[in-house]
């Protein structure tokens, strides 16, 4: 794997650029994780959901609809890891109501600034934002009911550390609903080392079964894939033939007491 700091810099630069373009009124060109046409994954239909949140907060960067699977209740505390412009936060904020709260964490200051503007636009008072890296989350243990994340963990170099953090932060009985990219088959080393494909949510994605085993080994219960969309990589990448696939999965699980 490439240098983790180099990966984070590449990722931050890419999403800062997407946030800046959005701020200037120039929307990203495609509904995909990376926000450009490098990998065009039309996997998520947010058209109905976005009407319940703040439509401007949906930059088409997700790869699933985790809020649909999280069964968020009034009064709960929800944590959105890699919140981007805030779409899943605002959907959650409506669900938890005035007695609950939603915390969004993101690595990219420009994305957080955009999310904050969107929160003001939507009049949300039960949301708060933190700049942070998912490998080092400065939040209290057992303080969260629900963890969400949408197309982010594949971008983080050490995914096991992220899931360990999620386990630490959830209250006993708490749950997660996470949409993410995974691969199946043998991914060529040239793809794995391509920085643009890292920040585009392909090169950093783990092999599907290895990913699921990792989550279970950390100690979560009832871990399962609730939604999945598989694609041949050659449909999205400039390859004659690929021999490997990419998939968006939404995974749920719980911290058993």
Ligand X SMILES: C[S@@+](CC[C@H](N)C(=O)[O-])C[C@H]1O[C@@H](n2cnc3c(N)ncnc32)[C@H](O)[C@@H]1O
Closest residue to ligand X: CB criterion = 84
Question: In which residue are the tokens 């708490």 written?
Answer: 174
Residue 61 interacting with ligand X (CB under 6 A): yes
Near ligand X by CB under 6 A: residue from 59, 70, 91, 246 = 59
* 8 A C-beta contact, residue 232 and residue 217: no
Residue 134 binds ligand X, judged by CB under 6 A = yes
Nearest-angstrom CA–CA distance, 242 and 205: 16
Residue 111 makes contact with ligand X by CB under 6 A = yes
Mask for 23-42, x = binds ligand X (CB under 6 A): ----------x---------
Three-state DSSP at 5 gives: helix
Min dist. Cβ of residue 152 to ligand X (A)? 4
CB closer to ligand X out of 89 and 218: 89
Minimum CB distance to ligand X, residue 243 (Å): 26
CB under 6 A: which stretch of 8-16, 69-77, 91-99, 190-198 binds ligand X? 8-16
Is position 43 an interface residue for ligand X (rule: CB under 6 A)?
no
User: Other C-beta atoms within 10 Å of 98: how many?
Assistant: 10
Q: Among 54, 93, 152, 227, which residue interacts with ligand X (rule: CB under 6 A)?
A: 152
CA 224, 96, 165, 105 torsion-angle sign? positive
- In the three-class reduction of DSSP (H, G, I as helix; E, B as strand; rest coil), residue 184 is classed as strand
Q: What CA–CA distance (Å, rounded) separates 45 from 241?
A: 28
The DSSP H or E segment spanning 128 is strand 127-131
Pairing mode, strands 77-81 and 244-254: unpaired
53 touches ligand X (CB under 6 A): no
Instruction: Tell me if 218 contacts ligand X by CB under 6 A.
Output: no
Stretch that binds ligand X, among 151-159, 170-178, 209-217, 249-257 (CB under 6 A): 151-159
Q: Is 183 in the site for ligand X (CB under 6 A)?
A: no
Number of residues that bind ligand X (CB under 6 A): 23
DSSP string, 32-99: STTSSTTS-------TTGGGTS-GGG--S--SS-HHHHS---TT-EEEEET-TTSHHHHHHHHHH-TT
State yes or no: residue 165 binds ligand X (CB under 6 A).
Answer: no
Positions that interact with ligand X (CB under 6 A): 8, 11, 15, 33, 59, 61-62, 82-84, 87, 105-108, 111, 133-134, 150-152, 155-156
């Amino acid at each position: 794997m490439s240098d983790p700091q180099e990966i984070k810099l590449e990722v931050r630069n890419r999403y800062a650029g997407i946030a800046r373009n959005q701020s200037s009124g120039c929307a990203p060109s495609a509904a995909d994780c990376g926000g450009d046409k490098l990998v065009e994954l039309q996997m998520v239909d947010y058209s109905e959901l976005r009407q319940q949140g703040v439509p401007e907060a949906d930059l088409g960067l997700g790869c699933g609809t985790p809020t649909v699977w999280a069964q968020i209740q009034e009064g709960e505390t929800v944590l959105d890891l890699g919140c981007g412009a805030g779409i899943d936060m605002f959907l959650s904020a409506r669900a938890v109501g005035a007695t609950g709260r939603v915390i969004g964490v993101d690595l990219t200051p420009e994305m957080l600034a955009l999310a904050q503007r969107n929160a003001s636009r939507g009049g949300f008072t039960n949301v708060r934002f933190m700049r942070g890296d998912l490998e080092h989350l400065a939040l209290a243990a057992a303080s969260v009911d629900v963890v969400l994340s949408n197309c982010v963990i594949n971008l983080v170099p050490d995914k096991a550390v992220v899931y360990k953090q999620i386990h630490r932060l959830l209250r006993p009985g708490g749950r997660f609903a996470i949409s993410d990219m995974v691969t199946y088959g043998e991914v060529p080393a040239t793809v794995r080392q391509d920085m643009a494909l890292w920040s585009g949510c392909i090169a950093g994605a783990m092999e599907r079964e290895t990913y699921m085993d990792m989550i279970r080994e950390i100690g979560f219960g009832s871990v399962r894939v609730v939604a999945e969309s598989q694609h041949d990589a050659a449909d999205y990448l400039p390859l004659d033939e690929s021999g490997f696939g990419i998939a968006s999965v939404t995974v749920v699980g719980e911290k058993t007491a």
